[in-house]
Structure 1
Amino acid sequence: MSGHSKWATTKHKKAIIDSKRGKIFTRHAKEIAVAARIGGGDPEGNPRLRTAILKAREDNMPQDNIKKAIQRGTGEIPGAQYEEYQFEGHGPKGVAIILKVMTDNKNRTVPELRTIFSKNGGALGENGCVSWMFDSKGLITVDKSSLPEDQVMDLALEAGADDAVIHEDVYEFLTAPQDFSHVLEVIKSKKITPSFAEVTMIPQTTVPLEGKDAQTMMRLMEMLEDHDDVQHVYANFDIPDDILESLSS
């Protein structure tokens, strides 16, 4: 898997027992509100909202919280109005980083992000400086125990996935962003529960990191992800599994 895929999967596994559950709910609420503001409050006619609600439910976000987030997005109840931004930069050894941000005060957010980068061996750059290194893809990861290996390609074809990749412990299904929801629904219809499912940014190439550089990169990732306005962090580092697991524990 790409560095981002391994990192994202590790973080996703930990989310169930994450002590920052309130922050997880806040991120879901922002995404739901923005999706409802842009595409309307009916999930049946708003694929982005439907996906956001599914992700929130996976993290056990209460239905009442979901409803209020939709109502804030549609203007039925008052609340902060968040705008979406993408920021780009570099980490240790030139690792490319993309941030998806939702904030009601860009003038506050940008200096805070710049400080996080500078304190951890990186730099916030101009938009477009690294985004060309990534492809937007739906990524669905399935544990190998869920499906015989000789059925993987058949499932990928049936679901309409662009590709399926077999790794040592997981299968990866890659989709076009607009096909993600359909492919995920087909996989779930086979009584398969993905370990990770998200429209993400897949790096075209990766930067191998070990030792101090790996530690600095993990600290930078965690500080960025802990920032209240950051929804997603994508990066093209490649850290060996055993090092990644030890640094993430």
Structure 2
Amino acid sequence: MFMIRNKVWPIILLAYREAFSSQLLWVLLLLVPLTLGLAELLGTMALTEKTAIKAGFSAGLTRWAALFIACLFTITSIARERDNKLNELLFSLSINRSTFYLSKFAAYGSIGLLIGSALSLTVLLYRPTASTGLWIISLYFELLIMVSFSLMVSVVVNSVIGAASVVLGFYLLARSIEALLLIANSTLEFEYTLANQMITLCLTGISWLLPKLNQFAQIDSVLSSPMDIGKILHNALTALAYVLLTCLMGLIDLSRKRL
């Protein structure tokens, strides 16, 4: 156990060192006041429910910004280590590949949670309630899913643009799959054709494979209808399942590569 810990912490500290050297802290320090400024500007234009509008805007921007920064940092960090041959150096020190991969996920996952926590301060400023706390917890689960998927894609795909495109496509599809399925089912009711039936079946199959990210960190839970414990538990189980699945897929691909 002590030997494993000695190998894990250097990998995690390397990721944190890169986060500070890549000026990630300055980006967060810029985004927090920028979010507050834009929310206040939007609030001045509203006639009623100014606090709710500012809280909703802050929650929406926080969600997108946290996911974008966390995923982009994960992808670029893995690509930079690959270009600098740092992975080969670590493996030459008899570090197990599973230890390396899980340490990377622990590092990037914790960095993603810190990013989400920092940006969520703007939402807490306008809505310091228990429902906002549950919303932040739900955002944490969504961040873990996306960071885990970004890490897996970065290991499989060597191109930064390619990995970022796959992650963006996965996120947009996971966010909109229920809406697409609803449209397909409504179309099938009016025009029952073989093509529409095949499209509906394909979308149904895809929906079983994807996490329903539209059910995570919903803005309505901050404004009007707070998330209950059942939804939080469902989000937690979904996050656990997809983190385990993506980590397993990443480990399989990493173990078969010759470095």
Normalised by the length of structure 2, the TM-score is 0.24
| Structure (1 or 2) with the greater helix fraction | 2
Normalised by the length of structure 1, the TM-score is 0.24
| Structure (1 or 2) with the greater strand fraction | 1
